[in-house]
Amino acid sequence: MPPLITSSDLAALLDTSSSAERPVVLDVRWRLGGPPGRADHDRAHLPGAVFLDLDTELADPPGPAGRHPLPTPQRLQDALRRAGVHDDSRVVAHDDGDGVVAARAWWLLRWAGLPAGRVAVLDGGFAAWVAAGLPTTAEPSRPEPGDVTVRPGGMPVLDADGAAALARDGVLLDARAAPRYRGETEPVDPRAGHIPGALNAPAADLVGPDGRWLAPEVVAQRLAALGVAAEGGADVAAYCGSGVTAAALVLAAEHARLRPPEQPIALYSGSWSNWSADPERPVATGAAP
């Protein structure tokens, strides 16, 4: 599977695949500030889809490492096994629409050791599935438990020092909306602004008004303008508020064919929630890096 899959292609896989090859569908609907996505899932979800909670299953509790620290391998493994994931499973994650939250699940699955061709995000999410007239259900999903073993290290991760170094010597992309990058507003973290030297690359700008991702060549042009090179060039990493939205930039570089699956851009997992909580870390404001 490519990193993005259409509703029609997913429906075909769910209908025609053998039970062993049928994709596991993870519903990770979530919104900053709530309400939780569980209620949406309980009202209607893709047949067989299993809900995973970003705050409690796809992240450790908030603390010095950030608002959504990477989950311990055991926490993630327990969640994935409950969802029916095996080491050789195909897995498709979806959120409400634009794929930004689903990209966090995609990234974690890759970090956990699942191969690139076995993990995807549903392009357009739940909204696109419904718009295509495909079936939904309120029937609870009860998959047979999986036996996946989480082997962390499949995706590169940076800490604050690594992010600072890359902002000086490479390309550090800030996936947040421009007003948060400029420091005009900060709804959740201790300080407003951005990491000095970081370039603003809002993940929302890579998605069209219908919630589907822009064409690979368009995404490639936008990322290339920020210094993301297909071959050679500077090292690249991404961050956001808490390490969720930035995963979409990692996916975007692969979707745009600027980076092959075996050479993904890095993720500063603690992101701004980690950086801004340290009073010793400098903060820049305004539109300039």
* Residue-wise pLDDT tens digits, 5-29: 999 999 999 998 777 789 999 999 9
My answer on whether 127 and 8 are in the same domain is yes
In-domain check, residue 124: yes
pLDDT given for residue 34 in this prediction: 84
The predicted pLDDT at position 231 comes to 76
HSE-up of residue 86 (Cα within 13 Å, Cβ side):
10
The CATH number of whichever domain residue 124 belongs to comes to 3.40.250.10
User: Do 120 and 18 belong together in one domain?
Assistant: yes
Residue 21: what pLDDT? Answer: 84
Q: Using the predicted structure, report yes or no on whether residue 44 has a pLDDT greater than 90.
A: yes
Same-domain pairing of 18 and 107: yes
> How many structural domains does the chain have?
2
- The 8 Å CB, 24+ separation contacts for 37-45 are 37/95, 37/96, 40/96, 40/126, 42/138, 42/140, 43/138, 44/130, 44/136, 44/137, 44/138, 45/126, 45/136, 45/137, 45/138, 45/141
pLDDT for the residue 97:
87
Write down the pLDDT at residue 5: 98
- Residue 13 covered by a domain: yes
Residues 189 and 100 occupy one common structural domain: no
Is residue 97 located within the same domain as residue 169? no
Same domain, 35 and 76: yes
**One domain for residues 192 and 251:** yes
Nearest to 76 by CA among 29, 114, 109: 109
Domain membership of residue 208 (yes or no) is: yes
**117 shares its domain with 14:** yes
Structural domain contains residue 144: no
pLDDT at 20: 72
pLDDT score of 128:
97
Label residue 230 by pLDDT band (50, 70, 90): confident
pLDDT of residue 33: 82
Q: Which residues on adjacent β-strands are paired with residue 27?
A: 51, 94
Query: CA 223 from chain center: how many Å?
Result: 17
Domain contains 150: no
pLDDT tens digit sequence for 250-272: 999 999 999 999 999 999 999 99
Report CA torsion sign: 93, 96, 102, 103. Answer: positive
Mark whether 175 and 243 lie in a shared domain.
yes
Is residue 181 scored above 80 in pLDDT? yes
User: Residue 111 in contact with residue 72, Cβ under 8 Å?
Assistant: no
- Answer for the pair 239, 163: CB distance below 8 angstroms, yes or no: yes
Choose, from 65, 164, 177, 240, the residue flagged as catalytic. Answer: 240
pLDDT at 121 over 90: yes
* pLDDT value of residue 106: 98
**Are 123 and 195 found together in one domain?**
no
Instruction: Respond yes or no on whether the N-terminal peptide bond of residue 35 is cis (omega within 30° of 0).
Output: yes
For residue 252, what are the domain limits? 157-275
Q: Is residue 107 part of a domain?
A: yes
Helix (H/G/I), strand (E/B), else coil: 24: strand
The fraction of the chain above a pLDDT of 90, given in percent, is: 93
58 or 34, higher pLDDT: 58
Say whether pLDDT at 283 is over 90. yes
Last residue of a domain, one of 131, 147, 180: 131
Residue 151 lies in a domain: no
Whether residue 34 is found in the same domain as residue 117 = yes
Q: Is 265 a catalytic residue?
A: no
Segment 72-94 mean pLDDT? 98
Do 114 and 77 lie in a common domain? Answer: yes
Q: What is the pLDDT of residue 35?
A: 87
What is the torsional sign of CA 239, 192, 185, 31?
positive
> What span, in angstroms and rounded, lies between the C-alpha atoms of 278 and 123?
36
The percentage of residues in the chain with a pLDDT greater than 70, rounded to a whole number, is 100
Using one digit for the tens of pLDDT, what is the confidence trace for 163-173?
A: 999 999 999 99
Last residue of a domain, one of 96, 131, 166: 131
Q: Is residue 280 part of a domain?
A: no
Quote the pLDDT of residue 136. 98
Say if residue 278's pLDDT is above 80.
yes
Stretch among 81-95, 128-142, 225-239 having the lowest mean pLDDT: 225-239
